[in-house]
Protein backbone atom coordinates (compact mmCIF):
# COMPACT_ATOMS: atom_id res chain seq x y z
CA UNK A 1 0.00 0.00 0.00
CA UNK A 2 1.41 3.37 -1.03
CA UNK A 3 1.22 6.43 1.15
CA UNK A 4 1.07 8.67 -1.91
CA UNK A 5 4.47 10.25 -1.37
CA UNK A 6 6.72 7.40 -2.48
CA UNK A 7 7.46 9.06 -5.83
CA UNK A 8 8.58 12.37 -4.37
CA UNK A 9 12.29 13.13 -4.39
CA UNK A 10 14.18 12.47 -1.18
CA UNK A 11 16.77 14.52 0.68
CA UNK A 12 17.78 17.96 -0.55
CA UNK A 13 15.80 17.56 -3.79
CA UNK A 14 12.61 17.09 -1.79
CA UNK A 15 13.35 20.14 0.35
CA UNK A 16 13.94 22.18 -2.80
CA UNK A 17 10.69 20.94 -4.33
CA UNK A 18 8.78 21.78 -1.14
CA UNK A 19 10.36 25.24 -1.07
CA UNK A 20 9.29 25.75 -4.69
CA UNK A 21 5.69 24.85 -3.85
CA UNK A 22 5.78 27.17 -0.85
CA UNK A 23 7.10 30.02 -2.98
CA UNK A 24 4.31 29.38 -5.52
CA UNK A 25 1.78 29.59 -2.69
CA UNK A 26 3.22 32.87 -1.42
CA UNK A 27 3.17 34.32 -4.95
CA UNK A 28 -0.44 33.19 -5.47
CA UNK A 29 -1.48 34.76 -2.16
CA UNK A 30 0.26 38.01 -3.11
CA UNK A 31 -1.44 38.08 -6.53
CA UNK A 32 -4.94 37.13 -5.44
CA UNK A 33 -5.40 38.17 -1.79
CA UNK A 34 -5.50 41.86 -0.90
CA UNK A 35 -5.59 41.05 2.83
CA UNK A 36 -2.37 39.08 2.48
CA UNK A 37 -0.68 41.99 0.69
CA UNK A 38 -1.75 44.39 3.46
CA UNK A 39 -0.48 42.04 6.16
CA UNK A 40 2.87 41.63 4.37
CA UNK A 41 3.20 45.42 4.22
CA UNK A 42 2.42 45.62 7.95
CA UNK A 43 5.05 42.94 8.60
CA UNK A 44 7.61 44.89 6.58
CA UNK A 45 6.83 48.04 8.58
CA UNK A 46 6.33 46.59 12.06
CA UNK A 47 8.80 43.68 11.87
CA UNK A 48 11.95 45.82 11.97
CA UNK A 49 10.33 48.02 14.62
CA UNK A 50 9.62 44.95 16.75
CA UNK A 51 13.20 43.76 16.37
CA UNK A 52 14.42 47.19 17.42
CA UNK A 53 12.02 47.69 20.33
CA UNK A 54 12.26 44.18 21.73
CA UNK A 55 14.46 44.25 24.80
CA UNK A 56 15.69 40.67 24.45
CA UNK A 57 15.30 37.61 22.25
CA UNK A 58 12.01 36.54 23.79
CA UNK A 59 10.43 39.96 23.31
CA UNK A 60 11.69 40.15 19.73
CA UNK A 61 10.31 36.67 19.05
CA UNK A 62 6.91 37.67 20.45
CA UNK A 63 6.73 40.91 18.49
CA UNK A 64 7.86 39.40 15.19
CA UNK A 65 6.30 35.97 15.70
CA UNK A 66 2.84 37.38 16.36
CA UNK A 67 2.98 39.14 12.98
CA UNK A 68 4.13 35.99 11.20
CA UNK A 69 1.27 34.00 12.75
CA UNK A 70 -1.23 36.37 11.15
CA UNK A 71 0.35 35.75 7.75
CA UNK A 72 0.32 31.99 8.26
CA UNK A 73 -3.35 31.99 9.20
CA UNK A 74 -4.20 34.29 6.31
CA UNK A 75 -2.61 31.73 3.98
CA UNK A 76 -4.64 28.92 5.56
CA UNK A 77 -7.83 31.00 5.38
CA UNK A 78 -7.18 31.83 1.72
CA UNK A 79 -6.59 28.14 0.98
CA UNK A 80 -9.88 27.27 2.68
CA UNK A 81 -11.73 29.92 0.67
CA UNK A 82 -10.17 28.64 -2.56
CA UNK A 83 -11.32 25.10 -1.82
CA UNK A 84 -14.84 26.32 -1.10
CA UNK A 85 -14.86 28.41 -4.30
CA UNK A 86 -13.74 25.33 -6.25
CA UNK A 87 -17.06 23.70 -5.48
CA UNK A 88 -19.21 26.66 -6.50
CA UNK A 89 -20.33 30.08 -5.40
CA UNK A 90 -23.86 29.12 -4.41
CA UNK A 91 -24.62 29.74 -0.75
CA UNK A 92 -24.25 26.76 1.55
CA UNK A 93 -24.54 27.07 5.31
CA UNK A 94 -21.48 24.92 6.04
CA UNK A 95 -19.33 26.71 3.46
CA UNK A 96 -20.35 30.05 4.96
CA UNK A 97 -19.60 28.81 8.45
CA UNK A 98 -16.16 27.54 7.37
CA UNK A 99 -15.30 30.86 5.73
CA UNK A 100 -16.48 32.79 8.79
CA UNK A 101 -14.40 30.58 11.08
CA UNK A 102 -11.31 31.06 8.90
CA UNK A 103 -11.82 34.80 9.05
CA UNK A 104 -12.32 34.61 12.82
CA UNK A 105 -9.03 32.73 13.18
CA UNK A 106 -7.20 35.57 11.39
CA UNK A 107 -8.99 38.07 13.65
CA UNK A 108 -7.97 36.18 16.80
CA UNK A 109 -4.34 36.28 15.70
CA UNK A 110 -4.64 40.02 15.03
CA UNK A 111 -5.87 40.41 18.60
CA UNK A 112 -2.84 38.33 19.59
CA UNK A 113 -0.59 40.88 17.84
CA UNK A 114 -2.20 43.69 19.82
CA UNK A 115 -1.87 41.73 23.06
CA UNK A 116 1.79 40.82 22.47
CA UNK A 117 2.78 44.31 21.44
CA UNK A 118 0.77 45.88 24.25
CA UNK A 119 2.11 43.56 26.94
CA UNK A 120 5.71 43.86 25.79
CA UNK A 121 5.80 47.58 25.00
CA UNK A 122 2.98 48.93 27.18
CA UNK A 123 4.88 48.89 30.48
CA UNK A 124 7.67 50.93 28.90
CA UNK A 125 5.24 53.58 27.74
CA UNK A 126 3.32 53.86 31.01
Binding-site residues from annotation for a divalent metal cation: 33, 81
pLDDT category at 1 given cuts 50, 70, 90 is very low
Q: Does residue 110 carry a pLDDT above 50?
A: yes
Digit-coded pLDDT (tens) for 67-91: 999 999 999 999 999 999 998 888 8
* Separation between Cα atoms, residue 74 and residue 70, nearest integer Å: 6
Binding-site residues from annotation for ATP: 14, 33, 81, 90-92, 99-100
Residues annotated as catalytic are 74
Sorted by where each begins, the domain ranges of the chain are 34-125
Binding-site residues from annotation: 14, 18-23, 33, 60, 74, 81, 90-92, 99-100, 103
pTM of the model: 0.85
**Quick one: CATH architecture of 34-125?**
Orthogonal Bundle (1.10)
For residue 87, what are the contacts with CB-CB under 8 A and spacing of at least 6?
A: 95
Amino acid sequence: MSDGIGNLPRGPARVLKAATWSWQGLCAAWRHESSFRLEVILLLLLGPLGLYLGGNGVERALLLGSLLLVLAMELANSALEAIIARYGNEHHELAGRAKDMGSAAVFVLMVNVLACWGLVLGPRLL
